[in-house]
Amino acid sequence: MLEPPATEDIILLPQPRMARFEPGMYASDKLTPQEILRLEAVPHEQGYILSITPEAIRMTARDAAGLFYARQTLEQLRRQFANTGKLPVAHIEDWPDFPNRGAMLDVARDKVPTMETLFDYVDMFASLKFNQLQLYTEHTFAYPGHGVVWQNASPMTPEQIRELDAYCRERHIELVPNQNSFGHMGRWLQHDAYKHLAEIPGGADLCPTHPGSIGLLRDMYDSLLPNFSSGQVNVGCDETFSLGKGGSKADVERIGKGRVYLNFLKQIHGLAREHGKVMQFWGDIILEHPELIPELPDNIIAMEWGYEANHPFAARGSKFAASGVPFYVCPGTSSWNSLLSRTNNALENLRLAARNGLDNGAIGYLVTDWGDSGHWQFKPISFVPFAWGAALCWAYDANVDLNLAKAVDTHVFRDCAGVMAQAAMDLGAAHARTGVMRGNSTVYYGLLMHALQGSPATGYLKGMTLYGLRACRAQLEEALERMSRAQMNRDDAELILAEFEMNACMALFAVRLGEERLKAGGVGTAQLPADARALLSGELDQIITEYKTLWLARNRPGGLGDSVARLETVLRLLSR
């Protein structure tokens, strides 16, 4: 038998708001827990009391969710006392700050996870006490009669949604349908059958004044929504950039852009109500017209999103609060457009959202994990941000000073060497060493996608230097070497290491490309000397081969070609 850990070394994720451990006192780990539902014993919904004495383990809650969360806490204690034969004598009282705590996965931008991967996500989210999951969808649901839209996307089928919904319910997670319904409809509108519904030719926004637009959404909702047991639906409606520039121009000139937007939003709300759903929607556009917020219909929830460390959650959320509109705060993992996350930005963005959400009465907290620009980042890149967000939205004051690296190593990576989480965070912070700081992106994406040609000293890559790139490279290499010493007790431990290594190799390739462009006098990718292009081309070709293999380890094949095509653009420039 092993010696039990010291009381001061016990860590939970999230940390409970009140936990008392008795040093040197233990219970047998063979005791059978007693589960008690008692409304008057626990005043807070989803709350619980976990009592461990030498004689008994008792879990008391006012509802089934509370008992489930007590089990998660007990399981985390068992993990730390494994092979000791003991559990600590303890008294824990706990409940959440936010009643709705969720994660959103982007399954529209190229990457649709396999069912096994989705089940793994749900298990992780449940252990972190999230109680909501959304799969952001544009075209990756197998809508009957619309096969031309999704035929090459490996979409979720109705049967798979129902299976996932049941799996979530068993773990007290609400699977909320999420289908963008106004902007971001380009995957539909590019096809002949739907082009007439676009606000402008070749655009991604539905025309809100075309009667066929609401007709299409009605057909979509009739197929999608019955597969979910949730009483909610997120209809998107963000970033309608072309509104008023085409089909709706006359109406916008007559009554204003905000009014046209709100009128269509109300029509969509009517569809949601027909299905008995409360409608969630991204709040960015209505916030451009704050005078219309009081006219939002009942049974609606605004989703206040923002992904930078200085996002004004307080100022924006207060506008919904002032009008009595329920709202969520929606920060992000900062994994997209980054390869390895933007660690410092992510941690502060997630913290700021929780603090300001609580201050302004937000009813929910949704951690978003997007897949912009090819969805190049792999699954575990977001583990640390997801865990931090889960901790903050469960009990902010108890977790704001959490030893995050230790908590994630113990309960997510399950790394007994205690190196994974900090190494992951250091990989995610390395981009800042270059001195090139881009909102919602990193220097790597500038070098691999957005600034392939022209001088790297100006524009997207302004401020990039050889010194900064070398500092970045040194941090990436050091963190990657440290990560190689991890000892994870997970079935997918080798895959996790391979995924981090791939994203780090992509970042290192971008750095080398930047170095070569600067050393050659500040040239574009295609203007590099032939010998440099040959070496880089061979390296990138190998990266692409390995990237394809790793993608298929957790994800469906649909979308892989689109994702790889962005890397192949760089390869063609190097191969000229």
Domains detected in the chain: 7-94 (3.30.379.10), 100-402 (3.20.20.80), 420-574 (no CATH)
Residue type, 471: A
DSSP single-letter state for residue 446: I
Alpha carbon separation from 331 to 130, 312, 500 (Å, rounded): 15, 11, 23
Q: Are 244 and 205 in contact (CB under 8 A)?
A: no
Confidence of residue 162 (pLDDT cuts 50, 70, 90): very high
Of the candidates 511, 447, 441, which has an alpha carbon nearest to the alpha carbon of residue 475? 511
d(CA 237, CA 253): 21
d(CA 325, CA 342): 32
- The average pLDDT across 254-273 equals 98
Confidence of residue 1 (pLDDT cuts 50, 70, 90): confident
pLDDT tens digits, 523-535: 999 999 999 999 9
Q: What percent of the chain has pLDDT over 90?
A: 99
d(CA 408, CA 387): 7
pLDDT tens digits, 450-498: 999 999 888 999 999 999 999 999 999 999 999 999 999 999 999 999 9
d(CA 330, CA 259): 25
* 43 burial level (CB within 10 Å; 0-12, 13-18, 19+): exposed
pLDDT tens digits, 177-210: 999 999 999 999 999 999 999 999 999 999 999 9
Of the candidates 397, 399, 385, which has an alpha carbon nearest to the alpha carbon of residue 344? 385
Residue with tokens 């936010």: 98
**Number of Cβ within a 10 Å radius of residue 140:** 26
Q: Are 60 and 40 in contact (CB under 8 A)?
A: no
Q: Is the pLDDT of residue 214 over 90?
A: yes
Q: Is the pLDDT of residue 67 over 90?
A: yes
DSSP single-letter state for residue 227: G
Residue type, 286: I
User: Residue 97: its pLDDT value, please?
Assistant: 98
**Token digits for 353?**
């959202």
Q: Are 61 and 14 in contact (CB under 8 A)?
A: no
d(CA 12, CA 408): 9
In 189-290, DSSP assigns E strands to: 232-234, 278-282
d(CA 301, CA 293): 12
Residue type, 485: R
User: Residue 62: its pLDDT value, please?
Assistant: 96
- The average pLDDT across 396-424 equals 98
Q: Are 167 and 153 in contact (CB under 8 A)?
A: no
DSSP single-letter state for residue 206: B
Of the candidates 510, 482, 480, 511, which has an alpha carbon nearest to the alpha carbon of residue 498? 480
